[in-house]
Structure 1
Amino acid sequence: MLVMLNDFYKAIQENKSIDLVYIDFARAFDSVPINRILYKLKSIGISGKIYMFIKNFLENRTFRVKIEDTLSDSFSTLSGVPQGSVLGPLLFLIFINDLPKYLPESINIKIYADDVKLYIEHKNDFETEILSEALSCIERWSVINGIDISLEKCVVLYIGKNNNKRKYRLLGKQMSEVDSVRDLGIIIDSSLSFSQHYEKIIKNAYFLTHQIFRLIKTKDINKLVFCYKTYVRPCLEYATEVWNPSKVETSHQIERVQKFFTRIALKICSVTPRNYEERLKLCKLKKLTERRCISDLCMTYKFITGHTHLKPDKFFTFAKRNLRRKYLLQNRGYSFKTKNNFFIRVINIWNKLPREVIECANHKKFRILANCVDFGL
C-alpha cells in the first residue's frame, strides 16, 4: 500500500488525477474451480508427488448441512480451497497470480489475496481508456477461470481536484462511485487525508478503553496496562506507516486516548495524580507519537537494507560520496502535496539517527537502538 500511495502522491504533485477501481470476486475462496487450480499448478511446474498430494487434498472432499439435529446427505465439493488450512491461501494465490498477464502493460494492479485494485494516473480522458480496457480484460479472465465478479461490491474512487470522473462499466453496468473505501483495514478517501480513518480508530479506542475499565475489576495498574497494550493500542497503531498524521492536532487527538487511559487507570488504582510524562514512566509506556516514529524508521530500515522485494533506490535518493556514514538520504523536497508521503516524511528523522543505529546488523537490533534515541517529540 505504501508503494501505491507513493504513486498517488507523485501523480498529484505532477497535477495528475487518479482513477482507482476495486474489484471484488464473489465468495472468492469458496468458488475457485478445483480443476483450474490443478491446471495452474501444472503450468508453473508442480508435478509428481507434490501435485498428487495437493490433488488429493482438494478432491474427494464432501460436506453435509446440519439444521438443529438433522443432517443432510453428503455432497461432493467441486470448488473452493479449504479455509483455515495452511495450503488454502497459497493455492488461491497461485490461482490468481496470472491475472496481471491479461491486463494492458501500462495499467497498475495491486493484489493481496482476493483484494484486487487497478489504477491509472492521467491528465486527460484519453489516458483513462486503458483502465476501461483493463476492466474488460478482468471480465474475460473471470469467465476463463470460472469465478464470478461481485458487481455490487466493485467501486471507483476518484482522486485529484481536476478529476473528470469518467464513468466505467463492468459486466455491462456502470460502476458505483465512492468518496472513501476500506482497503486492508485502512479507510482511504478521495483527498488522501485519512480523516475518516482517524475518526474511526479514535472512537473505537475510546470504546475499548471504557470496556476495560468497566469489565476488568482490579486495582493492579500493571494488569490494566497489559489490557490496554493488548486491546487498545493495536487499534491505534495498525499500519501507522501508511497514515501517520502530519497535522499536530490529529496527533494530539490520538495521543489523548492514551492520556485518558493513564489518568483513569491511576485514579482506579488510588495512585496520586501525576502529569502525563510521569504517568508514562509509571506505566512503562512511550508516547504514541514516538512509537509511530519508530515504526516509520523500522520500515525505512527494511526498505534500505533490502528486507523487502522492492528496490530502495526506486523510493529513496542516497547522498553521494558521504564518508561519514552509509545510507544518508537526500531530501527530495517537502511540499503540502507530499507531506503525508511515507518516503518523504521519514527522510529528516532518518538522517538524524546516530551512525551506530543505522549501520547495526539486523532489524531487531535496529528497533532496540532506535527506541533508545530521544527524538524530542
Structure 2
Amino acid sequence: LDRHLVGGVYREWTSSKIKSFLNEKDRLDVIINQARSATKMSKRVLILGDFNLDTMRYNDRSYSRKNLLQILGDGMKDASLDYATTEATWKSYGKFNGEHRISCLDHVYFAGLDCNVEVLKDTTTDHRPVLAKILVPSGKTGTRSIERRNFKAIQLQELEDALQKWPWTTIYSIEDVDTVHQFLLDGITEALNEVAPIKTIKVKTGRSLYLASDTLELMRKRDRASGSEYRRIRNQVSSLVKRDQICTNMGELRKSPNDPKVLWRLANEAIGKSSVNGISTMDNAETATAVNKFYIDKVIKLRHGLPSLKPPPSSWPKSSAPFSFSFASAGKIAKVVKAMRATEALGVDGIPVSVLKKGIEVLAGPISHLVNRSLASGTGKGKSAADPASYRPVCILPALSKILETVVKTDFEIHLAKTEALPNTQFGFRRGRSTTTALATAHAKWLKAEQRGKVVGVLGFDLSAAFDTVDQLQLLPKLKKLGIEGMQLEWFKSYLSGGSQRVVWNGAESDFLNVKYGVRQGSILGPILYLVLVADVTSCVGIGDEENSSYADDFFLWAVGDSLEEVGLLLETKADAFSKYAGGNGLVLNAAKTQFMIGGKAKKKDTSAFTIRVGGVELHPSDEIEFLGVKFDSDFTTAPHNAYVVKAAKQRAALISRLAVHIPRGKYLRQLARGLMVGKLSYAAAVVTTPRFDKNKEPDAAHRAVQVAINDVARSIAGCRRRDHIRIEDLLRIAKIPSLNEITVMAVAVETWKCFHSNDGGCGARNPIGDLVFPTPKRPTRSTTSVACPLRGGTDTFASHAVSVWNNFESLRSARTLAAARDVARTIGRSTPI
C-alpha cells in the first residue's frame, strides 16, 4: 500500500439527553480535521468505520442528527473525499416493538482511489460487515508495445499527393452505398499507409520522477542521520523533491507546449485522481466486456418495467410540410469538414477528422458522392455485420458518419423551424438557447406568479437514461407527422436500427453487442431526434408555455393557484398525464426521484404536512429544488446554490494550492485555475449571482466568500501569500484571472444582448426570456431604446439585471455582432468594482 493512507473511525453514539450537540460537533470536527490532514499527506486516502450517523436519512427533516450529518458530509467534501453509497449496514432485528429498522451507520470515504464497496450479508452482530475493495497500482514503470499511426506528423501536401494516386473517378460510377463507403476507406487507408504507416512503438506503463544528484546525495545523508539532524535534513529533502517534481513536469510540458491534455493528465496525477470508480477487475479486456454488457443490460432492464401504453393523442404539430434532403455538393461537404474540430479520436474505421480536414481538397467530391448515395438509397453507410467499420459506436463516431449526419441535421433543422415542431419551452440542443436561458425563463415565471400573490407548486421529473430507451417504433410515426415520408423516412429508419457498440478500455476491445434502443448520445443527429420524440409533450399533457420548461431530458412543470389544495390537484393531474405520456413514448420515469416544492404565498406551516401522489409515490414538499444544477429555495431565490458555490470555490482554491507544488506557477497553473475555478463560477452566473455596478454597494456574504477563494487562487498562481499584503486589484491583474463580479457582469451583458437579438421563439419572435425582457411586439428601429423591468423593483433575477445592463450601457445596445457584444461585455466587466 505504498503512498496509500487508510484510517479507521469509531464515532461514539451519544444520546442528546446526556451530551450536548456542541460536544458531539466538537468530536466530529476532530474527525474532519484529521481527514483534511490525511488528504494533504497522501494522494490516495481511504477512511472507513462506524460513524453512528444515518446517511439514509440525509433528506429527512425529522432526523435529530440531521445537522451533524450535514456537517460531516460538508466536511468530507471540503477534504476532497467522496462518499461510497451503500445499502443499509445496520438492522435492529426486532428491537423496536418487533419492527426491523435499518440504517446506514458505517461509512466509507475515499480520495484518489478506484473503490468498490460491498455490504456483506453474514454477521454475528447488528452491524453488517462492509468490504471496501481498492485497486492498488503496482507503481512500477515499464514498457508495453502498441501499434499506431503518427497522425500529427502528416503534412498536408504529402497527404494530398498520396490521395491523388487513388483512382477516385471510379467512385462516381458506383451506386451501392456499402461499396462506395469501402472504396473511400480503401483509398484513404492506402494514402495513410504511405504518409503515416502503422508502427509498433513502446510506451511507458508507469511514470518515474527524475531526482537530481543533489537530492539523491541529501537523501543518503538523511538516511545516515538521527534525531534533530534527521528531521532537519528530511525537511530539506522534501523541498528538493518538490523542486524535482516541478522540473519533471515542466519537461513534459515543454515537449507538448500546446497540448492541454498533457497538463490535465499531470494535474490528475498530482491529486491522485485515477480512473472510473467501482471497476473491480485489473484485466482490461474483462473490464471492456463488463462495461459494454452493463450499458446494454441497463436499458433492457429499464424498458422491462415500462407499462404497455399507447402514446396519447395530440394536436401536434401545428403544421406539416413535405421534407426532402438537399443535394450535398463538394463545396458543401468541404464547408462541413472545415468547420469540424481537428480531433484525432478514432472511430471504428480508424480515420480521424484531422486526416479528412487535411485531405479535403481531394476527398470533398468522393465524400459528397457517398453522402448523396446514402440519402438517395434510404440507408446509412453500410450494414455488413462482418465489417466493424460499418457499425456506429455510441460515443466516438467514425469521421465520415459525422459528416453525413451534419448534412442531414442541417436540412432537418430547417424543416423543424418551418413546421414550428419544437415547443418554445424546450431549450436543449437548439441554437441560441442554453441552460442559462432555460433557468432564467423558469425563474422569472415563478417570481411573476409569486408577485401576483399566488401559490406556486413545482415538479421536477427524472427520466432514467432517456436517450438510451428510445424506440424507433415511437419515433418514426412522429417523423411521419412532420411530413417525412418515402425514401427520407426509410433513411431515418435505417439510421435508427441495426446499431452495435463496443467498449475500448486501456486499448483492450470488447466484442460488438447489438443496440436495439436509443438515439446515439455521441452522435450529431441523436439529440435533435430525441427532441422530436418529446416535442408533443405540452399538447399531450395539457400544459401551456407558462407552466413548463425543459432542457433535453430535464422536464419541469408547475401549477399556479390561489390555494394549496388547488395547486396540489393541478399538479397531480399534470403529473399523472406526464407519467402516462412518458410510458407511452418508451421513457422510464423514476418517480422516487421526482422533486416537489411549494412556493409563493403558501405558508411553511401549511406546506409541512401537505402531500401529493406522483406515480404511486407520496411526495412531501422539500425546502429546495434543483433544476439544471442550480438549487432554488421556496422563496425562489438561489441562496442554496450560492451556499454550494461557496463550498465548491473553497475546495477548488485548496486544490489549486496543492497543484502549485507539482505544476509550474504562472501560465500552466493559470490554465488549470481557469478551468477549475473560473469555469465553475461561470456556469449560470447570469442567473445565480447579482452583478454590482456601484462600488458603494457591498456584496453579500456568499459573494465575498467566493471572492476570497478567487484571491487565494490568484496567490497560488503568483506565488505570494496573504502576509505580502498585495492589493486585490493588483493581485488579480498579476494572476490574470477575473473577479467574481467581472465574471457575472460579462455573463449578464452577453446573455442580454443574445436575448434582444434572438429570433427562435416561433415566427421570428424572440425566445421566451428575450420576449419577457423586451416585450415589444415589433422590433424598434434602433436597438438603443431602453426598456422597463418586467418584474417589481428589487427582484434579484436575470430579467431585472438584464434591464439594468441594457439601459445603462449604450455601447452594449449598439453592438451589431456577438463578437462585438463580447468585447463590450469584457470592457464593462473590467470597469466594475471587485
Q: Which TM bucket (shorter chain)?
A: 0.7 to 0.9
Q: 1:357-377: CA deviations, max 9, x gaps?
A: 321211210221232232345
Using the alignment, how far apart are the partners of 1:183 and 1:38 within structure 2?
30
Contact 2:686 2:747 in 1 (8 A): yes
Q: 1:89-148: CA deviations, max 9, x gaps?
A: 222111111111112245712121111111012212335433222122113213322333
Matched with 1:314 is: 772
User: Relative to structure 1, is the Cα distance of residues 356 and 152 closer, same or farther in structure 2, using a 3 angstrom cutoff?
Assistant: closer
User: Relative to structure 1, is the Cα distance of residues 45 and 282 closer, same or farther in structure 2, using a 3 angstrom cutoff?
Assistant: same
Contact 2:772 2:790 in 1 (8 A): no
Q: 1:306-347: CA deviations, max 9, x gaps?
A: 3553264533467xxx999722123567545x2x12111333
Alignment-mate amino acid for residue 243 of structure 1: V
SS in 2 for 1:205: helix
Identical-pair percentage:
21
Contact 2:784 2:814 in 1 (8 A): yes
Say which of 230, 240, 245 aligns to 2:690. Answer: 245
Q: Are residues 1:3 and 2:441 paired? A: yes
Using the alignment, how far apart are the partners of 1:79 and 1:31 within structure 2?
6
Q: TM-score under structure 2 normalisation?
A: 0.41
User: Relative to structure 1, is the Cα distance of residues 52 and 345 closer, same or farther in structure 2, using a 3 angstrom cutoff?
Assistant: same
Q: Are residues 1:103 and 2:538 paired? A: no
Using the alignment, how far apart are the partners of 2:824 and 2:509 within structure 1?
61
Q: CA deviation at 1:349?
A: 3.5
Q: Are residues 1:230 and 2:668 paired? A: no
Say which of 452, 461, 467 aligns to 1:29. Answer: 467
Q: 1:265-312: CA deviations, max 9, x gaps?
A: 33359x975211111222233322022012111111111223553264
Contact 2:746 2:825 in 1 (8 A): yes
Q: Are residues 1:156 and 2:596 paired? A: yes
User: Relative to structure 1, is the Cα distance of residues 249 and 47 closer, same or farther in structure 2, using a 3 angstrom cutoff?
Assistant: same
Note the 1:141-290 alignment, pairs <5 A.
141-163=581-603, 164-165=606-607, 166-216=610-660, 217-245=662-690, 248-267=700-719, 274-290=726-742
Using the alignment, how far apart are the partners of 1:63 and 1:108 within structure 2?
39
Q: Are residues 1:362 and 2:806 paired? A: no
SS in 2 for 1:178: coil
Alignment-mate amino acid for residue 29 of structure 1: F
Using the alignment, how far apart are the partners of 1:156 and 1:288 within structure 2?
31
SS in 2 for 1:46: coil
Q: CA RMSD in A?
A: 3.2
User: Relative to structure 1, is the Cα distance of residues 243 and 307 closer, same or farther in structure 2, using a 3 angstrom cutoff?
Assistant: farther
User: Relative to structure 1, is the Cα distance of residues 252 and 31 closer, same or farther in structure 2, using a 3 angstrom cutoff?
Assistant: same
Contact 1:202 1:236 in 2 (8 A): no
Matched with 1:350 is: 806
User: Relative to structure 1, is the Cα distance of residues 298 and 76 closer, same or farther in structure 2, using a 3 angstrom cutoff?
Assistant: closer
Contact 1:25 1:148 in 2 (8 A): yes
Runs of 4+ in 1 over 3 A off after TM superposition: 62-66, 69-72, 74-78, 163-166, 311-314, 322-325, 331-336
Q: CA deviation at 1:168?
A: 2.1
User: Relative to structure 1, is the Cα distance of residues 83 and 176 closer, same or farther in structure 2, using a 3 angstrom cutoff?
Assistant: farther
Q: Are residues 1:117 and 2:573 paired? A: no
SS in 2 for 1:100: helix
Say which of 88, 92, 95 aligns to 2:530. Answer: 92
Using the alignment, how far apart are the partners of 1:308 and 1:362 within structure 2?
17
User: Relative to structure 1, is the Cα distance of residues 149 and 333 closer, same or farther in structure 2, using a 3 angstrom cutoff?
Assistant: closer
Q: For the pair shown, which has the larger CA radius of gyration, 1 or 2?
A: 2
Say which of 538, 562, 571 aligns to 1:131. Answer: 571
Note the 1:10-21 alignment, pairs <5 A.
10-21=448-459
User: Relative to structure 1, is the Cα distance of residues 200 and 376 closer, same or farther in structure 2, using a 3 angstrom cutoff?
Assistant: closer
Contact 1:169 1:175 in 2 (8 A): yes
Matched with 1:78 is: 516
Structure 1 window deviating more from structure 2 (17-26 vs 203-212): it is 203-212
Matched with 2:363 is: none
Contact 2:682 2:747 in 1 (8 A): no
Using the alignment, how far apart are the partners of 1:70 and 1:143 within structure 2?
35
Alignment-mate amino acid for residue 260 of structure 1: D
SS in 2 for 1:79: coil
User: Relative to structure 1, is the Cα distance of residues 80 and 332 closer, same or farther in structure 2, using a 3 angstrom cutoff?
Assistant: closer
Q: CA deviation at 1:26?
A: 2.9
Alignment-mate amino acid for residue 134 of structure 1: K
Using the alignment, how far apart are the partners of 2:500 and 2:801 within structure 1?
53
Using the alignment, how far apart are the partners of 1:250 and 1:236 within structure 2?
12
Q: Structure 1 regions of 5+ residues with no counterpart?
A: none
Q: 1:25-69: CA deviations, max 9, x gaps?
A: 233222222211122221222234432232122212346899xx9
Q: Which has the higher contact order (CA 8 A, sep 6+)?
A: 1
SS in 2 for 1:85: coil
Alignment-mate amino acid for residue 281 of structure 1: R
Contact 2:649 2:710 in 1 (8 A): no
Using the alignment, how far apart are the partners of 2:813 and 2:497 within structure 1?
51
Using the alignment, how far apart are the partners of 1:84 and 1:239 within structure 2?
24
Using the alignment, how far apart are the partners of 1:351 and 1:315 within structure 2?
12
Contact 1:16 1:121 in 2 (8 A): yes
Alignment-mate amino acid for residue 729 of structure 2: E
Q: CA deviation at 1:255?
A: 1.1
Using the alignment, how far apart are the partners of 1:42 and 1:325 within structure 2?
41
Using the alignment, how far apart are the partners of 2:487 and 2:444 within structure 1?
43
Using the alignment, how far apart are the partners of 1:346 and 1:142 within structure 2?
36
